[in-house]
Amino acid sequence: MSKALVLDFGGVISRTLFETHHLTEKALGLAAGTLTWRGPFDPAGDPLWQSMQEDRITEREYWLQRAKDVAELVGENWTQMSQFVIAARGADPMPVIRPEALNAIEQARRAGCKLAILSNELDLFYGAVFRKKLPFLEEFSVIHDATYTKILKPDRRAYEALIKDLALAAGDCIFVDDQARNISGARAVGMKTVHFDVSQPAAGFARALDLLELTGETL
C-alpha cells in the first residue's frame, strides 16, 4: 500500500530564520549579534513569538513584523515577507535546506512513497523564484501552497484537498509540521503526524521515516 510523506516547508524542509541569523547579518551588512529574536529557541526572550503561539497574532503577522524590524535596521521599506527572505538568503537557497530533510525525502522517494508539501506561505514568504532554485522539489507530486489556495492550516479543507490529490487514505499520509495547531488540524482528519522540533531535526525525520515503515538509515 502506498504512503505519502507530507512536509511543511519553512522550519521543516528549510532551516528557520532563527537558526540563520548569522547568515542574515552577513548578507545584510549587520554586525554579528544584531538580531536577537529567537522564537522557539528562546521563547521567553521573544514576546512577539509568545503572542503568536497564544493565537493573539497569526504566523504571517509575526513574520511581517520581523521583516519590518529588519528593514528599519538596513534602511529598507519592505512590505512583504518575501522581500526580507530574498535579501537574507540570497541567490542560492540550498545552504538553508536541512540535510536531514533531503535524506528523508530521498529515502521516501526510493521506497516508492509519494511526496507532498502543505504550506501556508511557501511563495508568499520565499518568492516564486525561490522554489525554482530547489531541484529536489521536482520529486514532489503535490504542492499545496495557501499563497494561492487561500485555505490555511489548520482549516480541515487544506488537509482534505491535499489527501484527495494524493489519492490516498488519510491514515497513509505522514504529516510533519513544527506548529502544534497545524498538527492538531492534521490529526482531526485522520493523518498520522510528527510534531517537528526545530531544535532536533534528525529526531523528527527519524520519526517520520518510522511511521512510513522505513529504516531511517542515512543514505
Ordered by where they begin, the domains of the chain are 4-15+96-211 (3.40.50.1000), 21-89 (no CATH)
- Express each pLDDT in 170-215 by its tens digit: 999 999 999 999 999 999 999 999 999 999 999 999 999 999 999 6
Query: Is the peptide bond between 154 and the residue preceding it cis, with omega within 30 degrees of 0?
Result: yes
Spatial neighbors of 79 by CB under 8 A, at least 6 apart, are none
pLDDT at 216 over 60: no
Compute the distance between CA of residue 216 and CA of residue 219 in angstroms, rounded to an integer: 9
pLDDT confidence tier of residue 218, bands split at 50, 70 and 90: very low
Rg (CA), the chain: 17
pTM of the entire predicted model: 0.91
